Structure formats: C-alpha cells, structure tokens
Amino acid sequence: MPTPLDRELKKGSAELLILSLVETRQRHGYEISKLIESRSAGALRFNVASLYPMLYRLEKRGWIQGRWVDKAGQRRRRYYRLTATGRKVLRSQRSHWQTFVAAINQIAGIENA
C-alpha cells in the first residue's frame, strides 16, 4: 500500500512524469506505466486505477492527445502524444521542479547523487 507521503509525492510529480514520457514519441498507457516503474527503479508505480484518470485529465486539459491506432494483425491501441500546449506546460513544470528540488537540497543538505 502506498503511504500518504508516497501518494502526495506521486500526485505532485505524476503529471510531470507523464508529460516527459510522451515528449519525444507517442506511447500507450501500459508502456507509460512500465516506463515510470523501470526508470524510477521501482520506486514509483502507477497501476491502472490511478494512471488512466490522470491520462484523461491531462487529455481534457489539452496537454496530451490520445488516438486509436490500428496496426496490421494487432488489436487497436490508444497512443498518447504531447500537444503544443503540453509542451509549454512541460517546460515550465520542469523549471519549477528543478527550482524546487534545488531548494529542498539546499535546506535538507542532501548530497546530489
């Protein structure tokens, strides 16, 4: 079970994570969840119940766009990619996040790994 702290952290960072993952290429939901898990070395995990509402929210805000893609011999899948608005948001969130992390480090005195 995620602890409260875990959930808060996730909530704050999740949008940033998703936006960065679809920045360079379009990906489907399962792929996004796997990437988050592997790139955080298992520290962050999104299961189906938390991932999709978030994807739909970002899509509704117009930051990402999902579309069904048919590939020969396969079932159709839904892929998400970053929109122009999403790109702007990602840029500003990234800088906010970096400032924030820097500030935390400064105060908490954690060595940058």
Partner 1 sequence: MPDFTKPDFKNAVRLRVARLNLEPTREAAIVEEMSQHLEQRFAELMAQGNTRSVAQETVLRELKEGSRLEKDLLQVEKQVPLEPAPPEGSGVYATLARLQKDLRYAFRALRLNPGFSTIAILSLALGIGANTAIFQLLDSVRMRSLPVQHPEELVRVSIPNARGRSGTARGNFPFFTNGIFEQIRDHQQVFSGLAAWNSTGFNLANGGRARGARALYVNGDFFRTLGIQPVLGRVFSSQDDQRGCGLPGAVISYGFWQKEFGGKASAVGSKLTLEGHPVEVIGVTPPEFYGVEVGRAYDLAVPICSEPMIAGEYSVLERRDGWWLGIIGRLKAGVTAAKATAQLESISAPTFQATLPARYQADEAKKFLAWKMAAEPAGTGLSSLRRTYEQPLWLLLAIAGTVLLIACANLANLMFARANAREREIAVRLALGASRTRLMQQLMLESLLLAAIGALAGIVLAQGLTRILISYLSTQFGSVSLDLGLDWRVLGFTAAAAVLTCLLFGLMPALKATSTRPIVAMKTGSRGVTTGRERFGLRRILVVVQVALSMVLLVGAFLFVRSFQNLITLDAGFRQSGILAVDLDFTQLNIPVAQRNNFKQQMVERMQAVPGVESAAAVDIVPVSGNMWNDYVHFDNAGQDVHDLVNFNRVSPGFFKTLDTPLVKGRDFSPADTLNSPAVAVVNESFVHKLLKDADPLGKIFRVDEGAGVPESIYQIVGIVKDTKYNDLHAEFGAIAYLARSQDKKPDTDASLIVRSDLSLDSLMASVERSVAEVSPAIGIQFSVFKTQIRDTLQRERLMASLSGFFGFLAAVLATIGLYGVISYMVVRRRSEIGIRMALGADRGRVMALIMREAALLLGIGLAIGTGLSLASTRAASALLFGLKPHDPAALAMAGLALALVAIAASYLPAFRATRIQPTEALREE
Residue 15 has a CB neighbour count (10 Å cut-off) of: 19
Nearest approach, Cβ of residue 49 and partner 1 (Å): 4
Q: Does 2 bind partner 1 (CB under 8 A)?
A: yes
Encoded one letter per residue, x for contact with partner 1 by CB under 8 A and - for no contact, window 27-66 reads --xx--x-------------xxxxxxxx-xx--x------
- The residue (of 6 and 97) whose beta carbon lies closer to partner 1 is 6
Number of residues located near partner 1, criterion CB under 8 A: 18
Ranges of H-type helices in 1-113:
4-21, 29-39, 48-61, 84-108
- The alpha carbon dihedral of 46, 50, 55, 58 has a sign of negative
Separation in Å, CA 95 to CA 54, 90, 105? 21, 9, 15
Q: How far apart are CA 50 and CA 33, in angstroms?
A: 10
Tell me the window of 19-27, 72-80, 81-89, 94-102 that interacts with partner 1 (CB under 8 A). Answer: 72-80
User: Interface residues with partner 1 (CB under 8 A)?
Assistant: 2, 29-30, 33, 47-54, 56-57, 60, 75, 77-78
